[in-house]
Amino acid sequence: MKPVPLPAVLFTLNRERLTQLLRPRAVAVLNANDIMPTNADGTMGHLQNADLFYLTGIHQEETMLLLAPHAADPNHRELLFLREPNEHLTIWEGHKLSKEQATKISGIKNVKWLAEFPALFRQIACELEVIYLNSNEHQRAGLEVESRDARFVRECQQMFPLHCYERLARVMHSLRVVKSEHEVTAIQSACDLTGKGFRRVCGFVKPGVNEAEVEAEFAHEFIRHRGQFAYLPIIASGANNNILHYNQNDQPCKSGELLLLDVAAGLGNYMSDLTRTIPVSGRFSRRQKQVYNAVLRVFRQMVKAMVPGKTTKDLRTECETLIAEECVGLGLLKPSQLRKSTPENPAAKPYFMHGVSHPIGLDVHDVTYNHLKIAPGWVLTCEPAIYIPKEGFGVRLENTIFVTETGQRDLMADIPIEADEIEALMNRR
């Protein structure tokens, strides 16, 4: 991931918001993510722990943050710990941050080398009563691999078994879901880069190109602007439209098919999310356009429905009702099936079986809890769809939406979404 500079004031304000929510006489500790191994002596690229980045802006591995707002020594209230640079690291891995550089990025004045952490943490922990430790509490997280945070939890509880422990993730979720102006600007930049990639691809797609070639066009546009894929791209032609998380991306795109593109850019550490469904030949068939416009109508209605006070579960229920009504008009459902629909078994389920919205920010599926109600400052996706396997295609549309006190701001409003716009863009080449 290529860093994109953000103002230190963003991270300073984030730390202030967090410390106001901590219990008295508490200390919180966060760890960087590990660099994950692959095979032999290989490793993956470093992906920073999103909570640590949110509070520091630091990308470097083995970084630790300690916050103790009620520590007796003012110099112990914010401490950032880094790997100490040396000649060996410089030769083999390149530049590592100096203390001065870390302060400039994070706004943290007291920066120490990692070797100093054990003694300082013991001194501060013995003085205080409550320890906040971090963990991945995303409700759909896969936790097969033990994280650096998880190891630290075990070690800390062994060292200080009589302290009171609190879950930092619960607090971080409530903070991160409401985006600051700086964060919305960063997400907007990722959305803008996504739009550049989409326009490039619309000028490239034609019968005979391979899904892999389409993926490469997105990659070219994203990487040359210092971005990356926000998630594994879905380039799904023909019947592959109906596979929700298809990422094989190696089939030829054929005349008359639709190509579903669930592809978006991440820029710096902030992500976007976009889905478009385009005609490989540059023109929708009559039936394809019928279904496309049905999904687009639902999309428009659901954007307006994204208001403070609702949950994402509420949005899903509303979307299922709208999709079912459109399916009647498309001849996929009968009115009698709508009358038999229940929340547990919605009539639309054969044609729409996933959620319509999720928070997005530092993570594509950003942290929250399903029971939390949407509030001004949330950034969410809106992604209705209709899948028709028997007809060999499906349509999904998705934009990234910012919820404000006065309404919704579509951060992808300038990316073509109307069927006529898509056709015009594809036939301009």
Cite the residue boundaries of each domain of the chain with CATH code 3.90.230.10. Answer: 181-426
Name the band, by pLDDT with cuts 50, 70 and 90, for residue 90. confident
Percent of the chain with pLDDT over 90: 86
Between CA 385 and CA 381 the distance in angstroms is 13
CA 413, chain centre distance (Å): 19
At 429 the pLDDT is 64
Residue 264, phi then psi, degrees to nearest 5: -150, 165
Q: Are 270 and 379 in contact (CB under 8 A)?
A: no
Residue 210, phi then psi, degrees to nearest 5: -95, 150
| pTM for this entry | 0.95
Q: Are 405 and 375 in contact (CB under 8 A)?
A: no
Between CA 284 and CA 420 the distance in angstroms is 9
Q: Are 191 and 401 in contact (CB under 8 A)?
A: no
Lowest mean pLDDT among 146-150, 211-215, 379-383: 146-150
Which fold would CATH assign to domain 8-176?
A: Creatine Amidinohydrolase; Chain A, domain 1 (3.40.350)
Q: For 181-426, CATH number?
A: 3.90.230.10
Cite the residue boundaries of each domain of the chain with CATH code 3.40.350.10. Answer: 8-176
Q: How many CB atoms lie within 10 A of CB 408?
A: 18
Average pLDDT score over residue span 136-140? 77
Name the band, by pLDDT with cuts 50, 70 and 90, for residue 93. confident
**pLDDT over 80 (residue 143):** no
| C-alpha distances in Å from residue 406, one per residue of 115, 276, 374, 377 | 50, 27, 13, 11
pLDDT in tens, 27-42: 999 999 888 888 988 8
**pLDDT over 70 (residue 296):** yes
What are all long-range contacts of 115-121, with beta carbons under 8 Å and residues at least 24 apart? 115/84, 116/81, 117/64, 117/66, 117/81, 120/66, 120/76, 120/79, 121/27, 121/29, 121/66
Higher pLDDT among residues 154 and 343, named by residue = 154
Query: What is the chain's mean pLDDT, rounded?
Result: 95
At 47 the pLDDT is 84
Residue 309, phi then psi, degrees to nearest 5: 105, -20
